Amino acid sequence: MRLDRVYPAENRRLATEILQSGGALISEFPIGSPALKHHFPMRNRIIAGLSKGLIITQAHRNSGALITARYALDQGRDVFAVPTSPLHTQNSGTNHLIRCGEATLIESATDVLTEWKMDTVAKSAGPIEYTSLEATLVKALSKEPRTVDELVIDAGLNVARVSEALITLQLKQTVRQINLKWTLI
């Protein structure tokens, strides 16, 4: 993604949310640089370097997510992976990371907090702020516990985006997972 033109275009809303919430968009490329295929691994190196840890929720064996995981490992960052069914060969990269000992198997945000010896996350004094996706998931979960697949269908997004939002909501102590279904706390 370039700073002067968001790529892919469907990330415009996300870029706006990041900026409006006080976040930043950064690039090592000069303004006007085209979004070229070989720029993405270079961008992922920065993402890995800015992170304490990396969670891989979906990854094909030759995916950019695994390139990012390699950068994270090279930079001494923690790498976590959510296992997938062996029948889902399009996501076999996450299982490969776990099998090779390059990633810690996780099933929820609690696993990351336990690994980092952070038993609890202090709740903020003010109201919790949600992104639009998080708010959509909270609304869906206010009716009844739901599986990730049900939430993916409701949100009309891919599993990775919904899983990421659920982990963030778990860190915000808003949701928890019980028997493969997500529910509000």
- Mean pLDDT computed over 156-179: 85
- pLDDT digit string, tens, across residues 67-123: 999 999 999 999 999 998 888 888 899 999 999 999 999 988 888 888 888 765 555
CATH of the domain at 161: 1.10.10.10
Q: 154 in a domain, yes or no?
A: yes
The span from the CA of 84 to the CA of 105, in Å, is 10
Same domain, 27 and 57: no
Extract the tokens encoding 127: 């109201």
Q: What is the pLDDT of residue 80?
A: 96
CB contact set of 166 (below 8 Å; sequence gap of 6+): 137, 148, 151, 175, 177, 182
Q: Which of 40, 39, 79 is nearest to 56 (CA)?
A: 79
Same domain, 15 and 63: no
CB contact set of 39 (below 8 Å; sequence gap of 6+): 29, 33
Q: What is the pLDDT of residue 1?
A: 42
Q: What is the pLDDT of residue 122?
A: 52
Average per-residue pLDDT for the chain: 86
Q: What is the pLDDT of residue 58?
A: 86
- Mean pLDDT computed over 18-22: 82
Give the number of C-alpha atoms closer than 13 A to the C-alpha of residue 60, restricted to the C-beta side.
4
> What is the total count of domains within the chain?
3
Q: 73 in a domain, yes or no?
A: yes
Q: 115 in a domain, yes or no?
A: no
Q: 40 in a domain, yes or no?
A: no
Residue that terminates a domain, selected from 55, 72, 106: 106
Is the backbone of residue 85 left (phi > 0), alpha (psi -120 to 50) or beta? Answer: beta
Same domain, 29 and 56: no
Same domain, 80 and 49: yes
Q: Side by side, which strands form the sheet with 104-105?
A: 53-56, 78-81, 104-105
Q: What is the pLDDT of residue 179?
A: 77
Report the percentage of the chain scoring pLDDT > 90: 24
* Whether this model's pTM surpasses 0.85: no
Same domain, 136 and 161: yes
Q: 101 in a domain, yes or no?
A: yes
Give the number of C-alpha atoms closer than 13 A to the C-alpha of residue 115, restricted to the C-beta side.
19
Q: 4 in a domain, yes or no?
A: yes
Its domain, for residue 177, covers 132-184
Is 125's pLDDT higher than 90?
no
CB burial string 91-100: b at 16+ within 10 A, e below: bbbbbbbbee
Q: What are phi and psi of 27, to 5 degrees?
A: -155, 150
Same domain, 49 and 21: no
